Homo-oligomer: A and B are copies of this chain.
Amino acid sequence: MSPVIGRLAIIGQGLIGSSITRAVYERKLARETVITDADPKVRKRLLELGLGEARVVDTASEAADGADMVIGCVPVRAYGEVVSEIASVLKPGAILSDVGSVKQGIVEECLPLIPDGVHFVPAHPLAGTEFSGPDAGLPRLFADRWCILTPPEGVDQTAIKTASKFWEGMGSKVEVMSPARHDTALAITSHLPHLAAFSIFHTALAQEEADHSPVIQFSAGAFKDFTRIASSNPVMWRDIFLMNREPVLKALRNFIADMEACARAIEAGDGDTLENLFSVSRSTRRKVIEKEHISQQPKKPKGELKDTLFRPYSQGD
């Protein structure tokens, strides 16, 4: 089978960019891969790592020049700058994509900068690890994960199909939706949990200070699972919240209202309301996991699935 992409350019070689570089090589998804990073130290490291057959160049324009597909893998607030830089060298018929965690803001910023004849197919792979940088990339990072494509209205269907084949080639489950719908969904399933995980440390630290006694150390698996995402990159997350403001605020206000309802139920000793809420949540969570469970993806690593379903955690701790 011939590669999905002829010449592929990947701009930015952090965790996500270098994972794509590795996956593309392992799965032979491009005939030729050109990579770069704005940071000279990263470019130097890329030469040492020698990721597959990827050619390392010094500038985004050099990488994008003549590429059939260009994927930006930079912080959410840097896309406008990158697209302005490469716009003039993008070849007609090329596919331009990204990996940003927020879509509406990136589309609004980049769309006016993209020349006619270039197909803009924004993407968001729902995958990552707690590490960053070109050494942290994993060739199987996207396997069995969602990749959400958010093409603006009127984008060429063939380009969307090619982008889908590209991500499916890396083992992802691809879903196409509007940028706005993506941002609303992720505000709840990703942005809000991150905010709650970051916040609870402030709540706990304030209590330690008020009581002059340790609190956080007496946390078992429950707190560790719950707050794992609080190890995420503060600058990256600051920018995600600033860019996805309205959907996050809406989700956050609904969440606060739900927590206030819990407070009222606890205050009133209303056990039925609590038990009902908990039961619905548990069954919903099991349905979500069940979805995972019956996923038709090939090569689904059983270990990972077992881990998701059965990894002991500290219920009751």
* Chain A residues in the interface with B (C-beta under 8 A): 15-16, 101, 125-130, 138, 141, 145-146, 148, 175, 181, 184-186, 188-190, 192-207, 211, 213-239, 241-242, 245, 248-249, 251-256, 258-260, 262-263, 266-267, 269, 271, 274-275, 277-282, 284-286, 288-289, 291, 308, 310-317
Whether A101 and B316, one on each chain, are in contact in the complex, defined by CB atoms closer than 8 angstroms, is: yes
Q: Do A127 and B245 touch across chains, with their CB atoms under 8 A apart?
A: no
Partner of A220, one of B190, B235, B312: B190
Among residues of B, the one whose C-beta sits closest to the C-beta of A14 is B316
In the complex, the chain B residue whose C-beta lies closest to that of A312 is: B129
State the Cβ distance, A279 to closest chain B Cβ, in Å: 4
The complex is assembled from copies of this chain, and their number is: 2
Instruction: Decide: A189 and B204 in contact? CB cutoff 8 A.
Output: yes
User: Contact at B245–A291, with CB atoms within 8 Å?
Assistant: no
Closest to A254 in B: B203
Query: Which B residues lie within 8 Å of A316 (CB)?
Result: 15-16, 101, 127-128, 232-233, 236
Establish whether residues A203 and B126, one from each chain, have CB atoms under 8 Å apart when the complex forms. no
Q: A190-B220, A230-B278 are in contact. List 15 more A-B contacts (CB 8 A).
A: A101-B317, A127-B317, A130-B310, A185-B218, A189-B223, A192-B200, A199-B258, A204-B284, A224-B308, A227-B281, A230-B281, A232-B316, A234-B275, A238-B278, A252-B263
Closest Cβ–Cβ distance, residue A211 to chain B (whole Å)? 6
The residue of chain B having its C-beta at the shortest distance from the C-beta of A186 within the complex is B218
A266 contact set on B, CB distance < 8 A: 241-242, 245, 248-249, 252
B-chain residues with CB within 8 Å of residue A125 when the two chains form the complex: 317
> Out of B215, B238, B242, B313, which one reaches A128, CB within 8 Å?
B313
Across-interface contacts of A226 in B (CB, < 8 A) = 193, 196-197, 225-226, 228-229
* B217 A225 Cβ-Cβ under 8 A: no
Q: Is the CB of A229 within 8 A of B222?
A: yes
Q: Which residues of B contact A227 (CB under 8 A)?
A: 193, 281, 285
The 19 listed contacts between A and B (C-beta, < 8 Å) are A126-B314, A129-B312, A129-B315, A189-B223, A193-B200, A193-B222, A195-B259, A197-B226, A201-B284, A204-B284, A206-B254, A226-B228, A229-B314, A231-B285, A236-B316, A242-B266, A253-B263, A256-B256, A256-B260
A205 and B315 alpha carbons, distance in the complex (Å):
23
Interfacial chain B residues near A242, Cβ < 8 Å: 266, 269, 271, 274
Given contacts A218-B189, A226-B225, is CB(A202)–CB(B281) below 8 Å? Answer: yes
Chain B residue nearest to A257 in the complex (CB)? B203
Shortest 9 CB-CB distances between A and B: which pairs? Answer: A234-B278, A201-B281, A126-B220, A189-B219, A128-B316, A129-B312, A126-B317, A193-B226, A128-B315
